[in-house]
Amino acid sequence: MATNNKRKIVWVLGAGASRGVGAVTSVQHGGKIRIPMQIDFWDTLLRFATARNRKIIEAFLFKYFKGYKKTPPKVHPSERRKYFGDVSVEEVFTFLSERISTVTISPQLRTYYQDQVWEALIESISSTFKRFKSNSQTLAIYRDFSKNHLKSRDAIISFNYDLVLELSLRKIDWYYYGLKKKKIPIFKPHGSINWGIKSDETIKIDKNTTKPIIVAPTHLKFIGLNGFDGNHASGYLNSNKSISEIWKNMEKQMDGAKAIVFIGYSFPDADLYFSSVLRTVLTKSQTQVKIIIVNPDSLRISEKICNRFAIKRENVQNHFDIKSFCKLQRTDII
């Protein structure tokens, strides 16, 4: 048992983690809205976007993803949002990534994609996810998580733009963005709504920024633009040297893991970049890395990754509820 306690675990949090711990925001008439995932991403984003950004995003989605020549003029905003429930978030970012980086489009179109649509998306992601704070439920679940599972040798990888984890652990002096002795590092390879950019391209913690560093959730995330101009927080790994360092150090942490726990992460097909990192880690490891899936759809995800990464099924452990998982002890899972 003592040996198990010394094992290093890497915790990987996806969008389902923030949703699963109960992140919500208030709306008119006392209602509550859960933090968005794919199924309600556009509905939530457009609800909280500024009028200008909403107009830009809706016009883009209607034209390129719904086949409309223009936004339907007589449809109420709440009804318009329902048109986009089946539009893949990853596919939208992939489209923009490819179009912005290709040499075959006109300068006018590139300006439209980058300076209008991309900027509108980033500003709207910022304003939307800033609404989701910690609450009594997120505090209780993450308190159990930190008490029962986290050790100083561990590392956390969060693909979430939001700050629900950080705000829920705010009384714990354990975590740190990056690497720091005696603190649990939190790596956010897709960026964060409280990350701004300094003139030398390094990250600065800025909770008030309206144009945070947001890396596109797409397999084209390694594509860069024509250099950093100080005005755009472009969503590509080599657009910002600090993001590249985060990915490199994240992989180093995964290399030493005895177990990798995926909480609310569904292994989206579009995120081939992270899949390549995981595949490399699993291949290089001298021992079997234990894989633990915490997700309501855990069985389907387990089947998917076993086939995809040639993982033995007996080496995968399934849990279906984040709250009950966090009440378990570390020794119960490894």
Regions of the chain with pLDDT less than 70: 1-6, 171-175, 220-240
Predicted pLDDT at 231: 46
3-state secondary structure of 139: helix
Strand partners, 176: 185
> What are the tens digits of pLDDT across the range 149-192?
999 899 999 999 999 999 998 765 556 787 777 788 999 999 99
Q: What is residue 219's predicted lDDT score, i.e. its pLDDT?
A: 73
| 8-state DSSP, 310 | T
**Residues 284/293, Cβ–Cβ less than 8 Å:** no
The two most distant CA atoms of the chain are separated, in Å, by 67
pLDDT of residue 306: 96
- Residue 180's pLDDT is 74
Coil, helix or strand at residue 294: strand
Predicted pLDDT of residue 67: 95
**Could you read off the pLDDT of 228-266 as tens digits, one per residue?**
344 444 555 556 678 888 899 999 999 989 999 999 999
- What integer pLDDT is reported at residue 118 of this predicted model? 92
CA distance 162 to 23: 10
Are the C-beta atoms of 100 and 225 separated by less than 8 Å?
yes
What per-residue confidence (pLDDT) applies to 244? 83
Q: What is the pLDDT of residue 226?
A: 44
Which pLDDT score is estimated for 22?
A: 97
